[in-house]
Amino acid sequence: MYSRYEISENDPPVENALVNLVPELHSCDVAGVGAIQHVLYAHPKINIYSKIKDHITLMRPKQYLKNCFVFASLFFALPVGNPEILVSAGIAFVLFSLMASAVYIFNDYCDIESDRMHPKKRFRPLASGKVTKTGALILMAGLLVISITGCLALLNTQVLSLMLLYLCINVIYTVKLKHVSLIDIFIISTGFVIRLFVGSCASGLELSYSIIVMTFLLSLFLAFAKRRDDVLILMETGKKMRKNITGYNLEFINSAMSMLSSIILITYIMYTISPEIIAKHQTDKLYLTSLFVILGILRYQQITFIYKNSGVPTEILMKDKFIQLSIGFWIISFLCIKYFRWFV
């Protein structure tokens, strides 16, 4: 039975339709209330753009900056006359980035509860609930399939083996080894070295031992700086962001970072003045570029020790103008000395 309310000619047509569609209500007619809600209130629409953005954020594209180490062998060789090498390295960068995104998703999936207690990580898509667990797993599987099949089709088995090694190491790291102090940061640094070899195997260019050692030491330096941020959170809030954080303290991390920064600088200077590198690059003036390496490392220490903001190294590299200029001038000076024979 429908409502017996009389409708005047002055009533708006939409209201007339609603009144005629709504069942007559009694004092306890719960179904009638549900009918009113169904008619008067539209179902919320899913924001497709927002969902896509959340899933892209889950992939952590900002972290792709780390994967630029894939191009390290190309920078020092600079094969301008061989575009096939550049294309192969570019494909390796893309496929490795997809593999790394799958690793990040797996890490976030395993750390949902701990991330929710972190002052910054609680805003991540999985921890905040913007992306469902099922959606995250489907995205992770898709990324793995694309990266593996892409390697088989476009690159070679050496690159695929390195990427699978990176995947296995990081799965073990996420499940167990990230909770073991010192081992955790050594695994992170190993990941950077794997990036070097991925680029080398994709392009067919050799890597010098000095570049491998410096990359490993620099990534250790950055990892210690990141752990220092977790120690500060523990001291300020009493919350453990990592189970192994008790294996670190400020005194230990500060001394480790100072030691590593000194070794990095010495290694780089020895690299630039070694007879092998002088003969390879046909110049003995590359040591002049160490000025910008020193500036970059000192600036990062300033950000870490004074400003206490070393939690996300990639964000620092993307936002800090001083470090960006240091890296930019280092690249320019290196290229000018090597290829334009400045100061010769």
What pLDDT digit, counting tens, does each position of 230-284 carry? 899 888 888 787 888 889 999 999 999 999 999 999 999 999 999 988 988 888 9
User: Which pLDDT does position 343 carry in this prediction?
Assistant: 57
Q: State residue 208's pLDDT score.
A: 85
User: What is the model's pLDDT at position 70?
Assistant: 94
For the record, the structure tokens of 261 come out as 């920064």
List, in order of start, the domains of the chain with CATH numbers. Answer: 1-43 (no CATH), 46-207 (1.10.357.140), 221-344 (no CATH)
CA distances from 128 to 145, 185, 189 (A): 27, 26, 29
pLDDT band at 79; cut points 50, 70, 90: low
Residue 240 contacts residue 234 (beta carbons within 8 Å)? yes
SS3 at position 205: coil
What is the percent of the chain where pLDDT is above 70? 85
Q: pLDDT band at 75, cuts 50/70/90?
A: confident
Alpha-carbon span 239 to 234, nearest angstrom:
5
List, for residues 135-188, the tens digit of each pLDDT value: 999 999 999 999 999 999 999 999 999 999 999 999 999 999 999 999 999 999
Is residue 288 over pLDDT 80? yes
Buried b (16+ CB within 10 A) or exposed e, 204-230: bbebbebbbbbbbbbbbbbbbbbbbbb
* Token pair recorded at residue 32: 């009638």
**pLDDT averaged over the chain?**
85
Give yes or no for residue 34 having a pLDDT over 60: no
Please name the amino acid found at residue 263.
I
